[in-house]
Amino acid sequence: MKVILPAKTRGGVQQMARGLCQIMGREISKGNVNTNIRQMTPRGTLQLPWSSINSVRTIAVLPWPFSFQPRDFSLPNSSWGSDMRRLYEHYNSQCEVETDDGEKKWGVWRRLPSYNRSLKYATGGVYLSKIIQSKARLFTRNIREQGAGFEYVVFVNKQEQKCVCVFQAGHLLEGPPGHVHGGAIATMIDTVTGTHATYLSGPVMTANLNINYRSPISLGSTVLLTCSLDKKEGRKTFVSCQVTNTDSSKLHTEATGLFLSITMGHLLGG
Amino acid sequence: MKVILPAKTRGGVQQMARGLCQIMGREISKGNVNTNIRQMTPRGTLQLPWSSINSVRTIAVLPWPFSFQPRDFSLPNSSWGSDMRRLYEHYNSQCEVETDDGEKKWGVWRRLPSYNRSLKYATGGVYLSKIIQSKARLFTRNIREQGAGFEYVVFVNKQEQKCVCVFQAGHLLEGPPGHVHGGAIATMIDTVTGTHATYLSGPVMTANLNINYRSPISLGSTVLLTCSLDKKEGRKTFVSCQVTNTDSSKLHTEATGLFLSITMGHLLGG
C-alpha cells in the first residue's frame, strides 16, 4: 500500500497530501481506523504485525519525532486570541450533541485534525521508517513557534456542503508592512478549498485558483474562510471561498478553486 | 515620512512591502541612496541626525537584530544546489559588463536584493526603533535554516520588460507527499509577478491572481519563474508568469496577475 505519485499527471497533485490527511482525519473521528492508519495516530496502543515489533521497540525509546505522538495543530494553544477561541468554541460545540436520553452523537459540524507531516506510506516496517526519517513538513504547519505562522482550524458541514476555517495570521506571514502576504492568503485558500473538495469528492488535486484581493488583512488578526460547493461535473469539483472578518461584515478576499478527482489507486498505489 | 496604510482601500495593499523593498533595492544598486534609506542599509556609516546619536550608540553594541546588518537573502549560500548556482551565475554575469576600454557598466539584467523585513518607517529615531522592535518578517524569508524554505533570487530586465526568478524549494514547503504545496507556488508567483509590476509601474498592490497548476514540482528541485508584461491600462498592470523546469522544457504552473498602482503618498504617508 505504498503511495506512488503520478508524477506526469497533467493538472498536478496539489491536494494529495491533504486528501490523505483528511482521510486519516475522517477515519479517526469516526473511530473506525484501520490497522495501518492506527499505527500513525497518537490514540491507543500501536497495533503492528509481528514482523515489525522489533523495529518499533527500538523506535519507541527515541524522543520525538520518533515517538509516534504527532501534534494535532488544530487544537487551541496559548497563542490563540479571543476571536480565535470564541469561533473555535462556536463551531466545536456543534460537533457533538447530547440527545434527550443523554446519549452523545455527532452534530452538524466536524472538526478536522491537522498534522505537519504527509503520510507517504501507510504501512509499517520499512515504509514507516521513511516517514520518520523525512525532514519534510506540511507548508502550513512548518513553524514551531505557536502563533508565529498559520494558526487555523477547519470545520466541515457535509449536510450543508459547507466548510469554515478560523485563521489567525502570525507575525511571520508579513507581506505589506503590518499586513498578511498575498501568498499566505492564497495558501490558506488553497488549503481550505482543497480540504472542502476532498471532503465532498474524495482525493483531489488543485487545477486552478482564481483569487481577488479586496482589502488587506492585518497581521495578528483572525479571519474566517467560508467555502461552499458551486458544482460537480464528472471529475471536476468547483468550490468558492470568501475570506471575511470574524462577523462576516467585511470582505477581504474572494476566490474560486477547481479541483480534479484522483483515484485512491493514485494515492495508495493500489 | 511615516508609512500610513490606506486600510480601507478597496483592492488591498498586497504589494506595498514589496514595492518599498524594491525601491530600496533600486536605490542601493544605483549607488544614489538617500540619507534616510542609507540608515537602513549595511553599506557605509550610519548617518543620523544629532538628536538620535545617543540611542544609536546604545543600539550599536547589541547583537543582531540590533546591528543594522540585514542579510541579503538573494545571495548564494551553501544550501544552493548546482542548478540554482548555475542559473544564478548565468544571470548575474549579465548584470555588469566590461567595455572595450576596461570600464564597467550595467548589463541588461539587474539582481534585486532581498531582505526579511519590510521598511515600515524610512526615517530614523523613534521610527527606526519601531522597526528594530518589530517581530514581523517577510513571509518568503521567515525561515532561518538555509535551504529549508524559499531559496530564490530575482533578476529584472527593464529593456525587455522581463523578469526571472530562480527558485529552489526546500523541505518545509511540502504539500502533496514529496512535492511543493500549491500555496507555496502561489506565494512565489505573487512575489515575482508583483516585483515585476513594481519594477515597471512603481508601487502596486495585487488585485487578482489566476493560477493554473499543470504538473507538480518536486521538493528540493529548482524551477524558473519567467514573467512578462502583458499590458498597462491606466492604474492597471497585467503580468503573466510561467513556472518551468530549469531548461524551460516542462511547464509546471502558469498564471496571470493584475496589479493596481498606488501612489508614493500612500506608501510613505506624504
Rg (CA), chain B: 19
CB contact (8 A) between residue A186 and residue B183: yes
Please tell me the distance from the alpha carbon of residue B196 to that of residue B175, in angstroms, as a whole number. Answer: 26
- Average pLDDT of the segment spanning A221-250: 97
Instruction: List for chain B the helix, strand, coil content (%; round to 5).
Output: 30, 25, 45
Of B12, B17, B215, the CB nearest to A174: B17
Cβ contacts (< 8 Å) between B212 and chain A: which residues?
Answer: 207-208
Chain B residues with beta carbon closer than 8 angstroms to that of A7: 215-216, 218
Contact B213 A194 (CB under 8 A): no
> What cell was used for B184?
507555496
User: What is the Cα Rg of chain A in Å?
Assistant: 19
d(C-alpha A160, C-alpha A229), whole Å: 9
pLDDT digits (tens, 9 = 90+) for B115-161: 887 654 444 545 554 555 578 999 999 998 999 999 999 999 988 99
The nearest CA of chain B is from the CA of A114 a distance in Å of: 13
- How far does A121 lie from chain B, in Å, by closest CA? 9
- Check if the beta carbon of residue A175 is closer than 8 Å to that of residue A184: yes
State the residue for C-alpha cell 507575525. A171
Where are the alpha helices (H) located in A163-230, listed in sequence order?
182-201
pLDDT tens digit sequence for A41-100: 333 322 222 223 223 222 333 344 444 567 899 999 999 999 999 999 999 999 998 888
The reply to whether residue B12 touches residue A214, judged by beta carbons under 8 angstroms, is yes
C-alpha cell at B215: 504538473
Tell me whether residues A120 and B176 touch, CB distance under 8 A. Answer: no
Residue of B nearest to A19 (CA): B176
Tell me the pLDDT tens digit for each residue of A166-212: 999 999 999 988 899 999 999 999 999 999 999 999 999 999 999 99
How far is residue A59 CA from its own chain's centroid?
A: 27
Interface contact A188-B183, CB threshold 8 A: yes
| d(C-alpha B111, C-alpha B96), whole Å | 10
pLDDT of residue B44: 30
Alpha-helix residue ranges (DSSP H) falling in A61-181: 82-92, 125-133
ipTM: 0.76
**Whose CA is closest to B69, among B133, B132, B143, B151?**
B132
Instruction: Identify which has the larger pLDDT, A98 or A119.
Output: A98
**C-alpha distance from A263 to closest chain B C-alpha (Å):** 15
**Least CB–CB distance from B191: residue in A7, A183, A187:** A183
In this predicted model, what pLDDT tens digit does every residue of A151-171 receive, in sequence order? 999 999 988 999 999 999 999
The strand pairing partners of A223, in sequence order, are A167
What span, in angstroms and rounded, lies between the C-alpha atoms of A207 and A210? 10
Phi, psi of A217 (to 5 degrees): -110, 125
CB contacts, 8 Å: A214 with chain B:
10-12
Cβ neighbors of B110 (< 8 A, separation 6 or more) are B29, B95, B155, B156, B157, B158
Measured CA to CA, the distance from residue A204 to residue B214 in angstroms comes to 14
